[in-house]
Amino acid sequence: VKTTVALTVNGERVERAVDSDTTLLRFLREDLSLVGTKNGCEKGHCGTCTVIVDGEAKRSCLIKMGRADGMNVQTIESLGGNHPIQEAFLAEGAVQCGFCTPGMVLAAKALLDKNPAPSAADVKTALKNNLCRCTGYAAIERAVLRASRTLRGEPVPDGSILAIATVRPRGPAAAARPAGSGVGVSAVRKDGPAKVAGAGVFADDLPAHAPLIGKLLFSEHAHARIISLDVSEASASEGVELVLTAADVPGRNAFGLFVPQQPVLCADEVMYLGDVVAAVFARTREQAEAARAKIRVVYEVLPARMDPEANFAPSAPLFHPDTENNVVHHVAVRKGDAAAGFEQADVIVEGVYETQAVEHAYLEPEAGLAVPDGSGGVAVWTGNQGSEEYRDMIAESLAVPKEKVRVVLTACGGGFGGKEEPAGQIHAALAALKTGKSAKVVLTREESIRTSTKRHPMRIRMRHGATKDGRIVAMTSRVIADAGAYISQSKPVIFRSAVTATGPYAVESVEADSYGIYTHKNPSGAFRGFGSTQASFACEIQMDKLARALDMSPVELRRKNGFREGSITSTGQKLMDGIGYLDTLDAVSTALESMRAEFASRPEVPGKKIGFGVASAYKNVGIGTGLSDHAGAIAELLPSGRLSVRTGAADIGQGSDTLAAQIAAEVLGFPYDLIDVTACDTAVSPDGGMTTGSRQTFVTGNAVKGAAEKLRESLGPYLPAAPAAPEAYRAAYEAARAARAKTRADFTYYPPKTSPHRVHSDPKPGSAGEAHHGIHYSYCFASAVVAVEVDTETGAVKVLKVAAAQDVGRALNPASVRGQIEGAVAMGIGYALSEEFLANETTVLTDSLHKLGVPKIADLPPIDCIIVEDPQTAGPFGAKGIGEVGLNPIAPAISNAIFDAVGVRIQTLPMKKEKVREALALVRKS
Ligand code: FES
Ligand code: FES
């Protein structure tokens, strides 16, 4: 129903005839082009669309324009970019991907307008409807409190209002230097100012001039044969310009980073609910949706085989005709003789552990805009984790040379592994090529959840044996991982679940086998932690069991067996440098003592029990295993006096652009503010490989360092001796050009060579090949302690406090490092207690952010972060990757704490209250 509404938006009166069912969110974004207001779900679950309406923070997706008449609406654009709240978000490092940021800033403003001196609890209440998947909320809470101080006229420190704790047992002393001048300081993110102002451009924000909007038709069944597909009615529908089916894919009708196995458009068979059957492109979204509903698909429903164990059987029907069995990948690790090891053991513990499928829940759903170039090529703007890889996959499907496809990274609203492979971008590119018109595909939240990859669910059987004095002499691990319908990234994930199964401990004999098995479920893919997260859950509960069986403190058991320089891993790698594991353990051990003292002084609450748990983890940095791994960088002094740094590292919120600028600033003594970073535009950027495996700090960091060092060689004589004003750099450019000195340097960094995995490692020190058998060039380490409170009636578990320590080599940007740790802890708490992706043969059961159990600000306890700096020689300034490992200790530490509190072992995730309650009831009965 059309209605005329008159409202005030950012101080200006707006009068429009609108559909009364249109939401305020759509009106702001599509009619007024106020795209700072984000669309993360359109269901009221994420808060990214928050605006201020008549003085109150409101989710604009829940307001229908039919009731907007007379409203006074304030969007992020009204704040400019220098409001104290925005400045506080920058100062506290509260911006990562930035997709939640405009909504957070406005929710904070609505609070502070009314309550100038809020408590931390008030902040939590005010932000209760706003999700953030990156920061763990801690920095956001600090930012709001900081802004309140500023607005009250109180002084605030230059750095964070909460000092960053750093343990630096062997690292070089930090150089005292002004913020932003190089490495080791918490420089404000390069993309921060735009993101706090709502001016960060995500793919769906690109001018709504795309003449064609695409909608994908997904399978209705987890497994079915396509008997017929009739698109005639849809094709004839109003506004429709193209309907794509499998027959329209000119090139390879399959994509996948390692093995192109997943159809772009299914021809004969659907293998999970997120398979795409057709794509409709029309002049409006409504037209595309209406036409999609007219596509007729006749399916012959086939048995959906959802159980990986059953599909493992040699007699099980094959999922893919070109495979011999349903095993996607099997990785075996053998060190020493495990059977003999168990013979020596005085104590043996074992268990079966189950982890669940988890949705990445990046707040920006997948989106891509494809623009034809008029000469048979296409450019695609999209958030992604590797533009080169996207380009290659798109070119293959379009059957055009790679050079005809350009992929440009937009701001990316989170990835966590889930944006390593395309979702909708190939369809958009195909439509652009076929119609000669720009085409855009933006997934709704439900579509994103339906089609995207998930974390591998795993069933892990683990057994450990130790001598009386706590020496771990043997362990076995057997992992059955649910790989879903297509390979995606299962191979490396399965691999890591096997090679990290020992945890960060030098176990004398190891027998680990991991299998990935096909099922008719969402493909399991890359997800922060990459297989090591699941292995950590099992291993670290085993450590707790072992310590108790030995009557030893869990910290002491870990200290006794923990990796140190010279330790040999299960794959036969002798660890050489940058092995800061024990420092992380010591740090959390101290924190545990303080935590115990803190909670001991609290009066006991009837029906509530408090417990403490410890866990640790290690994970590789980079790709390793003898595979190609490199990254390029270009540094160039421009006539304007600014320094351009180009990399191939996708900044998905983790801050790689900022690090690139800091590293260049450090090497060249160049002012950080005069450095511009361009990343992941395949037309102008060098190849940086994927943002995966915690690798970009190490590889792209070293590439930028190399390029800047080369540039320093040629420009050294002309650059100012100390950071100076822009005109000094313009003069330097002129002088260098006059002297024919190079103003641009390219550098490709190749990390230390690694070896392929071999099943049988050779653990004998000094034996031939030992030193050469490094499957990874770097590892990162983390430990955490948690305090939980368990309700003995309901089984509800509340995390009261977390202390998390992580060895990062060197913190190039401490605020950014802390942000990664806090974000990882928050994700770990969700993984432990609430998050789960569930689907059956016909329905995605958890089709919203709410049903998925993504943690909200109130679910997060105070998090003490401890940065451990144990420099890695080959890393840039000693740094190594930081993005993933902090997640791993959280779920097992919580499980261990539950046991400490109430004496029940919860070995399946998520540890929801019903599960704990049942376990408690069982114990009571027995
Ligand atoms: S878009 Fe409105 S709450 Fe998510
Ligand atoms: S910074 Fe909050 S969702 Fe990414």
- Express each pLDDT in 263-322 by its tens digit: 999 999 999 999 999 999 999 999 999 999 999 999 999 999 999 999 999 999 999 988
Please give the angle made by the CA atoms of 314, 317 and 320, to the nearest 5 degrees: 105
Name the E strands within 740-796.
744-749, 779-791
- Report the candidate in 454, 451, 447, 448 with the shortest Cα–Cα distance to residue 483: 454
Question: pTM, whole model, 2 decimals?
Answer: 0.96
Which amino acid, one-letter code, is at 374?
A: G
State residue 775's pLDDT score.
86
Give the pocket of ligand 2 (CB within 6 Å). 95-100, 132-135, 363, 414, 653
CA distance 476 to 479: 10
Lowest mean pLDDT among 48-52, 400-404, 877-881: 877-881
Atom of ligand 2 nearest to the CA of 413: 4
Atom of ligand 1 nearest to the CA of 60: 2
- Residues whose CB is less than 8 angstroms from the CB of residue 50 and which lie 6 or more positions away in sequence, other chains included: 37, 57, 58, 59, 60, 102, 103, 104, 106, 107, 129, 130
* Cα 664 to Cα 117, 629, 657, distances in angstroms: 40, 22, 11
State residue 885's pLDDT score.
95
In the three-class reduction of DSSP (H, G, I as helix; E, B as strand; rest coil), residue 372 is classed as strand
State residue 857's pLDDT score.
98
Mean local confidence (pLDDT), 5-34? 97
In the three-class reduction of DSSP (H, G, I as helix; E, B as strand; rest coil), residue 519 is classed as coil
Q: How far apart are the first and last CA of the chain?
A: 64
Cα torsion 505, 511, 516, 517: sign: negative
Ligand 1: which of 26, 37, 46 to mutate, most ligand atoms within 8 Å of CB? 46
What pLDDT, in 10s, does the model give residues 694-718? Answer: 788 888 999 999 999 999 999 999 9
Cα torsion 649, 654, 657, 658: sign: negative
What pLDDT, in 10s, does the model give residues 489-517? Answer: 999 999 999 999 999 999 999 999 999 99
788 lines ligand 1 (CB under 6 A): no
Lowest mean pLDDT among 146-150, 542-546, 575-579: 575-579
Residue 68 CA, ligand 1 centroid: distance in Å: 17
CA distance 200 to 195: 5
The DSSP element (H or E) to which 755 belongs, if any, is none
Nearest ligand, CA 41? 1
What pLDDT, in 10s, does the model give residues 822-836? Answer: 999 999 999 999 999
Lowest mean pLDDT among 41-45, 194-198, 443-447, 719-723: 719-723
- Report the candidate in 515, 453, 497 with the shortest Cα–Cα distance to residue 255: 453
Residue 115 CA, ligand 2 centroid: distance in Å: 25
CA distance 75 to 66: 19
Nearest ligand, CA 24? 1
- Report the candidate in 85, 119, 315, 133 with the shortest Cα–Cα distance to residue 826: 133
Q: In this structure, what token pair is assigned to residue 217?
A: 């038709």
357 lines ligand 1 (CB under 6 A): no
Beta carbons of 570 and 502 less than 8 angstroms apart: yes
**Phi/psi of residue 597, nearest 5 degrees:** -65, -40
State residue 171's pLDDT score.
45
Q: In this structure, what token pair is assigned to residue 886?
A: 């902090």
State residue 83's pLDDT score.
98
Residue 413 CA, ligand 2 centroid: distance in Å: 7
Q: How confident is the model at residue 627 (pLDDT cuts 50, 70, 90)?
A: confident
CA distance 194 to 189: 10
Nearest ligand, CA 96? 2
What pLDDT, in 10s, does the model give residues 155-206? Answer: 999 889 998 888 864 444 444 444 446 899 999 999 999 999 999 999 999 9
Residue with tokens 């299998």: 515
Atom of ligand 1 nearest to the CA of 61: 2
- Report the candidate in 416, 409, 415, 339 with the shortest Cα–Cα distance to residue 368: 409
In the three-class reduction of DSSP (H, G, I as helix; E, B as strand; rest coil), residue 783 is classed as strand
CA distance 902 to 925: 14
Residue 130 CA, ligand 1 centroid: distance in Å: 9
Nearest ligand, CA 44? 1
221 lines ligand 1 (CB under 6 A): no
CA distance 900 to 218: 46
What pLDDT, in 10s, does the model give residues 441-468? Answer: 999 999 999 999 999 999 999 999 999 9
Half-sphere exposure of 100 (CA within 13 A, CB side): 31
Tell me whether strands 240-244 and 276-282 are parallel, antiparallel or unpaired.
antiparallel
